[in-house]
Chain A
Amino acid sequence: MRLSLTSRFSAISALLPALLVMLVVYIGATSWTVWMSLTNSRMLPNNNFVGLRQYETLLGNDRWITSVHNIVIYGVLFVSFALLIGFLLAVAIDQRVRAEDTIRSIFLYPYSMSFVVTGLVWQWLLNPTLGIQHVLRSWGFENATFDWIVRPETAIYCLVIAGVWQASGLVMAIMLAGLRGVDEEIWKAARVDGLPKWRVYMSIIIPMMGASFATAAVLLSTGVVRLYDLSVSMTNGGPGIASEVPAKFVMDHLFERANIGLATAAATTMLITVIAVVAPYLYWRARKGEMR
């Protein structure tokens, strides 16, 4: 259908905000950040080009190395445990259990809460003087120790515990939708063949749920790179710099340490990581869409 001139004008006017946001915010701001990472900007941005020197500094920066190290540990453990627990929960609920709605609400409610709330609750639970360790000792386990949050080498695992608690319900919801989409005929056929249930899950259902796993994994992974609130509220990066994460490194160097060049170099490194994770996924989705 041909569009009249006024309608075409209206349609374009409606798209102006999106276009503006796209050009100014997403493309413009990102480019500026990448450019600043190539300068020696300190408190204010300048245009003194220094090549990749900020990236060299970054690689020699202890705090950055710790941050990257932490986010890798956090990312691997958080994504694996959230996927595992979420999937097991979805399978468990799919066994036609009683009180399904209540059980689902229990597993999903943490996802409605903020990372700040999550971080503060778990900070309290993991507090060695009055938290879980104290409870275990008062139950007669005199030597029980659960002081991960105050020990530099284990603080990051506390973030994993809290993160998994918050996000597993999301995985469960995605997986349950996938499981409910599985054709009843498959189950009937498996029953006729006398296959045990776990074999059906392992060899038939899991391979069929590739899309659900990919969606959940990508959602969780993008959350990993953004991780900031949890580190701030739960440990504030501590003890010392033991639970620092890249997003916090960027924020601190932008607003407290007045080192814009280094901060934007760190941010650009984050961007490259995200592209490496998301690009194959988007490509895969696009390919799948074409084949349909």
Chain B
Amino acid sequence: MTAVAQPLPAARRPKRMTPARWGLYAFIFITALYFLLPLYVMVVTSLKPMAEIRQGNLLALPIAPSIEAWVKAWTSACTGLTCQGIKIGFLNSLRILVPSVAISILVGSLTGYALSLWRVRGANILFGAMMVVAFIPYQLFIYPLVRVFSFTGLGQSLLTIVMIHTIFGLPTMTLLFRNYFASLPVELFKAARVDGAGFYQIYARIMMPMATPMIVVAVILQTTGIWNDFILGLVFAGRDNLPMTVQLNNIVNSTQGERAYNVDMAATLLTALLPLAVYFGSGRWFVRGIAAGAVKG
């Protein structure tokens, strides 16, 4: 785990505003505008009626704000064949998300635990290989996996997509937990062994309760990662389970006739809502997750 940036005491902040500091704040202000612009535009567009969008200015605040577009996006926007809104995608994404996060963390933590504390022959080779393959693009696996799943009769289904997320989450999850368990004092593990605790007992009773901070980080990483996935859901979930990102793309990019930009932006915001909530709700934990996921190997 790398050091996470900590705020510095305010007392050491220079008191006078020199020209250089004005320049500094100007730079931060202008870049902040670039970063905030899309969010602002999404929100105001989603609250405007179409007439106002056609005549008005992209940046203008809505004259007569209405949540009509939000209601339409949620309940009746068309995703290709059906017109039941993005809520279908939202529910699908939830059904994919919950088991995928739980199972990938379970398998990843167990693998990390076995690789860190138990001297299994070939463990280092397995771990090293997992870190290397994490870099391979999905395009290398997708077709063979489609064939394997259709051969086993699972085809495209909820179970398939959950397994797929577990598989592709395994390297990062293993890394996360292996490094954490390896940093714990080994005496703890030895004492449990002396007391006669077995492999799974130590895992469930001692290691996992101690790993709560890592579990939080893992939940954040997997939740945003799986919610934001597009390609895997598109290929493996099947028509009835398409996740929210895929449905959103269908709503926006397969419209016939005039596009309802307010509905599009409302649907986009709805799709971004959960990761945004996780991000703003978790604060520094999110940064910790990035740091942990970033430092592979």
Contact = CB atoms under 8 A, between A and B. Distances in A.
A29 B141 contact: yes
B224 A125 contact: no
B142 interface: yes
Main SS of chain B's interface residues? Answer: helix
Nearest to B103: A17
B290 interface: yes
Contacts of B53: 130
Contacts of A6: 198-199
A106 B35 contact: yes
Contact of B136 (A30, A132, A219): A30
Interface string B39-74: 101100100000001100111000000000000000
Contact of B290 (A106, A173, A179, A226): A173
Given A10-B200, A117-B268, A18 B126 contact: yes
Interface residues of B, number: 100
B139 A247 contact: yes
Main SS of chain A's interface residues? Answer: helix
Given A21-B170, A125-B37, A26 B294 contact: no
B137 A267 contact: yes
A114 B275 contact: yes
B290 A7 contact: no
A228 to B, nearest CB: 6
Nearest to A35: B144
A33 B141 contact: yes
Interface in B130-152: 130-133, 135-145, 147-148
Contacts of B290: 111, 170, 173-174
B154 interface: no
A27 B287 CA distance: 32
B111 A17 contact: yes
Contact of B31 (A107, A179, A264): A107
B51 to A, nearest CB: 12
Classify chain A's interface size.
Answer: 35 or more
B31 A14 contact: no
Identify the interface centre among B28, B41, B110: most chain A CB within 10 Å of its CB.
B28
Interface stretch (B78-86, B210-218, B278-286): B278-286
Contacts of A169: 35
Contacts of B133: 22, 26-27, 30
Interface of B: 2-8, 10, 12-14, 21, 24-25, 27-28, 31-32, 34-39, 41-42, 45, 53-54, 57-59, 107, 110-111, 113-115, 118-120, 123, 126, 129-133, 135-145, 147-148, 167, 170, 174, 190, 193, 198-200, 203, 224, 227-231, 235, 245, 248-249, 252-253, 261, 264-265, 268, 271-272, 275-276, 278-280, 286-287, 290-291, 294-295, 297
